[in-house]
Amino acid sequence: MKEMSRIVKIVTNFIYGFIIIFGFYIIAHGHLTPGGGFQGGAVVASAFALLLISYGQMKAKKFLNINIFSLLESCGLTMFIVVAFLGLGTTFFYNFLANSGSWFGNMVIPGINPGDMNTAGVLPLMNIAVGLEVFAGLGIIVLLMADGAEYTKKKENAENDR
Amino acid sequence: MNLLNHTPILILALPLLAAFLIPIIGKINKKATGIFATLVLGLSLILTIILAVKILSVGPQIYVFGAKSPLLTLPSSLKFPIRIMFQVDAMGIFMGLITALVSFLGAIYSLAFIDKKDGLDSYYSLLLLLTVSMFGMEFTGDLFNFFVFLEIASMASVSLICYRGTDLGEPVEAGFKYMVVSSIAALMVLFAIGIFYGEYDVLNIAAIASVIKYSQLDKIALGILVSVLAMKAGAVPMHMWTPDAYSEAPAPITMILVAASQASLYAIFRVVFSLYNITLNTLAVGWIIIIFGLLSMFIGVTMAIIQKDIKRLMAYHAISQTGYMLLGVGVGLAVLANPTALQRYGITAMEGGIFHIMNHAMYKGLLFLTAGALFFRTGTRDLNKMGGLAHYMKYTTIFFIIGAAAIAGLPPFNGFASKLLIYESVYKFNPLLSIIAMVVSILTLASFVKVFHSAFLGPKLPQFIEVKEVPRSMVFAMAVLSFIIIFFGLFPDLIVKNLVHPAVMSLIEQFKYTSTVLGGM
Amino acid sequence: MIGNFPYITVIIYIGCGIYILMFQKNLIKLAIGINLIENGINLFLITLGFKKGAVAPIYTQAPSGQSMVLPTPQALTLTSIVIGVATTALILSMAMMIYKHYGSIEVNEVRRLRG
Amino acid sequence: MLGLLETGSGFWSAVVWVILVLVIGSLVYYIRNKGEKSYKKNTEQDKPFISGNPELSKEGSHISASHIYWGFTEALKGYYNPLVKMHTGDINDYSGWMVIITVVILIIVGVRR
């Protein structure tokens, strides 16, 4: 994919930071506001897609490195399973942090309230793990599809020239 | 905190953790991923055996996720289970043993078989994911959890079918076809689960089974589930993905795919026996499954005889052998309603059908591994190009003879024991079915004689001069399977009495299935 | 009759999806067909949990006098959407590989394995 | 120890079968050894007699896979041609078959009692 015009690149440089921060907001507040690991990860991955389109596939490969994404994805997945294993004292996915006073352990106030971030025990950890995995995974998918599109474009150009 | 009552989940969680760690290990050193995956699968095989011994001695095991204790099925304030739970009874662990053994041997076989440099860590993590999802399909007691594992299984198997797709076109085509058909199937299963949830507001199989009334909606859900899962198991009118997928996947993966379609077969039996049991019109649904079995048997074997590609021929045989299992269990289902016939031949027919699942997984796995060995050495799968390989590959020839004799149902091997059970009991139900089953068995032998003659016999061909025996890890995997085939063949009563009969009983007695979860309500 | 409109849309969704899968010749259109069926079933799951005049299930306790919609179908739909993303990504990347090897994504050309 | 498998009407024991095969096999082998001693392998004696025609080379006479059951497939051409044509291999037919079979089963299960 060729690069976009200069205007798009400037706007992208400005915007993509906020998109990523918004994505992390959705991941972190998954247990309070609508959203969670997958939705937040998708928003962050849309920032990568934006970078890919505006800078074209060749340039984007320099700062969107597939190996880092794959490493991030494995770390996210392993974190998810390790958090589930930690609950093995009682049962597999046991929420050992809920109402325990330590991390994310406050009591939940019933009724209508804006909600306290420090509640719901293991759930925020799971959301972060899934968010990490999803935005790395979708990042890889977007980059690989860009490579695929690049290959088929080169093939078509070659056929048209012949 | 002894690990014993956590075994149902550890069988799944350890390979899952390994699957996620493998890309990281792959970065450190390429060869370690294969050995690590094999060790983890070996560990999960040992855990499956421990769980099997425990279930066959004590009774079905429940494992509730995230509850105060693994056995707390009903949260204090409610009358029906909410949490996702594993309910492993004799039938579930019977299939679990097949999955564990087949995937362990597949991992050992692929240590030497797969030598691709780049995609090695994705291969092993997908193999572990496929094993985990098959375990999940067989152990779960929750309908939606079954749908999620079904979807993971089809995605993992599709990516493994396309593993050789970077330089070849056919594997990707086979994978694409399988993926399209499996996603329709999975979405239809989700539709049926939506119907169940809409009617009974609960997703747990045992809870639904205790309140099911076989209303008009339940009939629709039953029709969708049976036909869609029959497609995933490879029953005939919808079997066409099977030869494409089995012939294009690498040999160890085909062996595991056979066990994966048997997991869908198990799902049909779970839906029909544990979810509905007597409430459904047993004769009609029984005859539907019998007709699926007959079609699969006959068309599977007649299509197999004319095949030229060795793995395509064996794939059609997998379809025709699935027909035997459907026939056996279909007869058992057809007579489920009247107890006298059930005692006389229904239970023996089901024992034959379910014992045939285990036997088929063993000898079909062995045959696919021998086909993989031939492909590994000669590079072709076309029977016309092969010839005289018995001169060079001694062990593979012996293993092939054992596998072919077992699939054709020759006496000392395990195929004969389960086919005999099916013939005698199905004869009492309806003689014509048993006659067709015998004719199909003869045609199976005919087509394997053809493979043996064209691939192994004949003079030494010039282009195979430098062919030599396959590496040790492949020979070891095939040797283990042959030992099991011979052992099951010589002492079938050990297996039938200790493993197959409890499995059949756990399918037939629906009240035991529901009472373990709802506490004998 | 108004209450049945979501179910009619579900039938239309699944009908279009199945029509596409059975008659369309382009592989990408098959992926679209699968997505249509998936959307239809997600809509079906959501409408199962619907209660007239109920509030979104995001509170620990329902506000006084009001009731909340059933949360479980929404969780099922979430997982189904996640699986839908993965399935579509897999199918589209396979379609790209088929185009790379076969040079075409028409169903009647992608037919080497038959018989 | 004998591994008796009850099969509804009778039983099956593979161990007894193997013992029988060994006993009868050794008997047959014993009778075979009593036969003509002057027979030697790989000599003129074990050439197949094809009414005097020269024997084809081994490579020439090896029937390859697609010709082995040509008689069987030729006789059943009426059954095989439509069956092979049905396996078209394109995806529309795969999903078409699946939808048709689901509809048929829904009719059978739904309409009956």
- Burial pattern B268-288, b for ≥16 Cβ within 10 A else e, equals bbbbbbbbbbeebbbbebbbb
> What pLDDT, on a 0 to 100 scale, did the predictor assign at position B67?
80
Residues B130-143: pLDDT tens digits? 999 999 999 999 99
Which comes out higher in pLDDT, residue D22 or C66?
D22
**D64 and D102 part of one domain:** yes
Query: Whole-prediction pTM value?
Result: 0.94
C62: contact with A, CB 8 A cutoff: no
φ and ψ of B63, to 5 deg: -140, 110
Which residues in B73-190 belong to E strands, given as ranges?
85-88
Q: Please answer whether residues A120 and A112 qualify as being in contact, where contact means their C-beta atoms are separated by less than 8 angstroms.
A: no
Check A110 against C61: CB less than 8 A apart.
Answer: yes
Q: Please answer whether residues B126 and B151 qualify as being in contact, where contact means their C-beta atoms are separated by less than 8 angstroms.
A: no
Whole-angstrom Cα distance, residue B221 to residue B208? 13
In chain C, where the domains are located: 2-50+68-102
Local structure of residue B302 (DSSP, 8 states): H
Q: Give the structural domain span for D15.
A: 4-33
**D69 and D100 part of one domain:** yes
**What is the pLDDT of chain B when averaged over all its residues?**
90
pLDDT, average across residues B161-189: 92
Residues B55-69: pLDDT tens digits? 999 888 888 887 888
Whole-angstrom Cα distance, residue D102 to residue D113? 18
**Which is nearest to A70 in space by CA: A129, A147, A146, A139?**
A139
B459: contact with C, CB 8 A cutoff: no
Residue A115 has pLDDT above 80, yes or no: no
Residues B10-43: pLDDT tens digits? 999 999 999 999 988 888 887 888 999 999 999 9
* Chains contacting B (3 or more CB pairs within 8 Å): A, C, D
> What pLDDT, on a 0 to 100 scale, did the predictor assign at position B109?
93
In a domain, D39, yes or no: no
**D29 and D50 part of one domain:** no
Whole-angstrom Cα distance, residue B212 to residue B225? 15
**D53 and D25 part of one domain:** no
Q: Please answer whether residues D87 and B208 qualify as being in contact, where contact means their C-beta atoms are separated by less than 8 angstroms.
A: no
* Chains contacting A (3 or more CB pairs within 8 Å): B, C
Residues C58-115: pLDDT tens digits? 777 777 778 888 888 888 999 999 999 999 999 999 998 898 888 888 988 888 888 7
Q: What percent of chain B has pLDDT above 70?
A: 98
Whole-angstrom Cα distance, residue B196 to residue B210? 13
Q: Which of A34, A112, A152 sits opposite C96 (nearest CB)?
A: A152
Side-chain-facing half-sphere of B52: CA atoms under 13 Å: 23
Q: Which of C41, C86, C91 sits opposite B191 (nearest CB)?
A: C41
Contacts for D20 with CB less than 8 Å, ≥ 6 apart: none
> What pLDDT, on a 0 to 100 scale, did the predictor assign at position C111?
85
Fold of C2-50+68-102: Helix Hairpins (1.10.287)
C65: contact with A, CB 8 A cutoff: no
Check C115 against D99: CB less than 8 A apart.
Answer: no
Residues D38-87: pLDDT tens digits? 777 777 777 777 777 777 777 777 777 778 888 888 999 999 999 998 88
pLDDT, average across residues A62-81: 90
Whole-angstrom Cα distance, residue B342 to residue B504? 12
Give how far Cα C113 sits from Cα of B64, B136, B177, D84, D91, Å.
Answer: 44, 31, 10, 12, 11
Window from B146-155, B335-344, B368-377, D30-39 with minimum mean pLDDT: D30-39
pLDDT, average across residues B362-384: 92
Q: Spell out which residues of chain D touch residue C21, defining contact as CB-CB under 8 Å.
A: 91-92, 95, 99
The CB density around residue B301, as the number of other CB atoms within 10 Å, is 24
> What pLDDT, on a 0 to 100 scale, did the predictor assign at position D39?
74
Which comes out higher in pLDDT, residue D42 or B339?
B339
Check A111 against C89: CB less than 8 A apart.
Answer: no
> What pLDDT, on a 0 to 100 scale, did the predictor assign at position B312?
93
Whole-angstrom Cα distance, residue A21 to residue A24? 5
* Chains contacting D (3 or more CB pairs within 8 Å): B, C
Of the pLDDT bands very low, low, confident and very high (cuts 50, 70, 90), residue B521 is very low
Hey, which residues 9-68 in chain D have their CB within 8 Å of chain B?
A: 9-10, 12, 14-15, 17-18, 21, 58-59, 62-66, 68
Residue D7 has pLDDT above 80, yes or no: no
> What pLDDT, on a 0 to 100 scale, did the predictor assign at position C14?
94
Question: What are A73's two structure tokens?
Answer: 């994805």
Whole-angstrom Cα distance, residue B457 to residue B391? 8
Window from B44-48, B362-366, D33-37 with minimum mean pLDDT: D33-37
Q: Spell out which residues of chain B touch residue D79, defining contact as CB-CB under 8 Å.
A: 302
Local structure of residue D53 (DSSP, 8 states): P
Secondary structure of residue A117 in the 3-state scheme: coil
Give how far Cα C71 sits from Cα of A95, B307, D26, Å.
Answer: 20, 52, 75
Residues A40-57: pLDDT tens digits? 999 999 999 999 999 888
Of the pLDDT bands very low, low, confident and very high (cuts 50, 70, 90), residue B183 is very high
Which comes out higher in pLDDT, residue B327 or D8?
B327
Residue B87 has pLDDT above 70, yes or no: yes
In a domain, D15, yes or no: yes
Secondary structure of residue B202 in the 3-state scheme: coil
Hey, which residues 198-217 in chain B have their CB within 8 Å of chain C?
A: 198, 201, 203
Residues A118-158: pLDDT tens digits? 877 888 899 999 999 999 999 999 998 888 887 777 877 88
**D73 and D20 part of one domain:** no
In a domain, D38, yes or no: no
**D9 and D63 part of one domain:** no
C4: contact with B, CB 8 A cutoff: no
Q: Spell out which residues of chain B touch residue D83, defining contact as CB-CB under 8 Å.
A: 299, 302-303
CA B374 vs. chain centroid, Å, equals 24
Integer-rounded Cα Rg, in Å, for chain A is: 20
Residue of B nearest to D74 (CA): B306
Residues B248-292: pLDDT tens digits? 999 999 999 999 999 999 999 999 999 988 888 889 999 999 999
**D51 and D104 part of one domain:** yes
As for how many domains chain D has, the answer is: 2
pLDDT, average across residues C12-27: 94
Residue with tokens 């007709």: B291
Q: Please answer whether residues A23 and A136 qualify as being in contact, where contact means their C-beta atoms are separated by less than 8 angstroms.
A: no
In chain B, where the domains are located: 1-274, 281-490
Q: Spell out which residues of chain C touch residue B169, defining contact as CB-CB under 8 Å.
A: 98, 101-102, 112
Closest approach of chain A CAs to the CA of B493, in angstroms? 37
C63: contact with A, CB 8 A cutoff: yes
Of the pLDDT bands very low, low, confident and very high (cuts 50, 70, 90), residue B517 is confident
- Burial pattern A69-101, b for ≥16 Cβ within 10 A else e, equals bbebbbbbbbbbbebbbebbebbbbbbbbbeee
Check C90 against B159: CB less than 8 A apart.
Answer: yes
**Which is nearest to B228 in space by CA: C14, C113, C45, D106?**
D106
Describe chain B by its helix, strand, coil percentages, rounded to 5: 80, 0, 20
